[in-house]
Amino acid sequence: MHVCTDVRPALDKELPSAYVEEYRCALDGEILRYVGEAYPKGVCSVYCGNGKDAEGPGSDFELVVVISAARHSPQNFCNGSWRSVWSIEFKDEVQMLELKGKLQVGAHYFEEGNVQLDAKHECKDSTIFQSSEDSAITIGNIIRQHEAEYLASLEASYSNLPDTTFKDLRRKLLVTRTLFPWQNTLQFILTRDITKELGIGK
């Protein structure tokens, strides 16, 4: 864990120009709104990556959006984290915005075992160069769409784990040389629970 030990006001030469700051502030407001809706206890930041000295139209610059969220629930034997970094290049000459996103999800389950997930995903998109407010809304919608699609794909993968990944983790045939009846696994769970409850078979 990193700890901040000292702070100081930024120098004027370290701050972006008023032109870039207009776009940065508009995007910061839009991302704050999105994170407040999508990630409970999530945090975000928008800063200028390149071209902070751009004074007006005709100059290229880059803004970077960082979103981070974590949920620690040791009493439920699980922890999870989300991090996404979006680089947005404002290309004035071609009147385009190019977005590159790097998304990372981590999960840790440790009840009667130790299962960890570390998933990464990269994506790209683009849109037209607009005013600061319109650009911010469009960028926010693009980020929202890509992140929602990625989360949906992870949820679909989780729901398919019993039928795909978990089957591949064990041998195809049991020691008895018969196929494991995956469609009747509930029967084994019920039998085990009843046996345990009645104290049979000890």
Q: Over the chain, what is the mean pLDDT?
A: 84
Which range, 54-58, 173-177, 185-189, is most confident?
A: 54-58
* pLDDT above 80 for 168: no
What average pLDDT does range 178-202 have in this prediction? 62
pLDDT in tens, 108-152: 888 777 778 889 999 999 999 999 999 999 999 999 999 999 999
Confidence of residue 78 (pLDDT cuts 50, 70, 90): confident
Q: Where are the domains of the chain?
A: 12-167, 171-198
- State residue 131's pLDDT score: 94
List, for residues 83-105, the tens digit of each pLDDT value. 999 999 999 889 999 999 999 99
202 pLDDT above the threshold of 80? no
Q: What is the pLDDT of residue 150?
A: 94
Virtual CA dihedral for 17, 22, 25, 27, nearest 10 degrees? -120
pLDDT in tens, 9-40: 888 888 889 999 999 999 999 999 999 999 98
**What pLDDT does residue 15 have?**
83
pLDDT at 193 over 70: no
User: Among the listed ranges 3-7, 10-14, 52-56, 184-188, which one has the minimum average pLDDT value?
Assistant: 184-188
Q: Please give the share of the chain, as a percent, with pLDDT higher than 70.
A: 78
Confidence of residue 41 (pLDDT cuts 50, 70, 90): confident
pLDDT recorded at residue 13: 80
pLDDT of residue 173: 58
| Short-list 86, 73, 175, CA closest to 126 | 86
For domain 12-167, which CATH number applies: 3.40.50.1820, 3.90.1150.210, 3.40.50.12280, 3.40.190.10? Answer: 3.90.1150.210
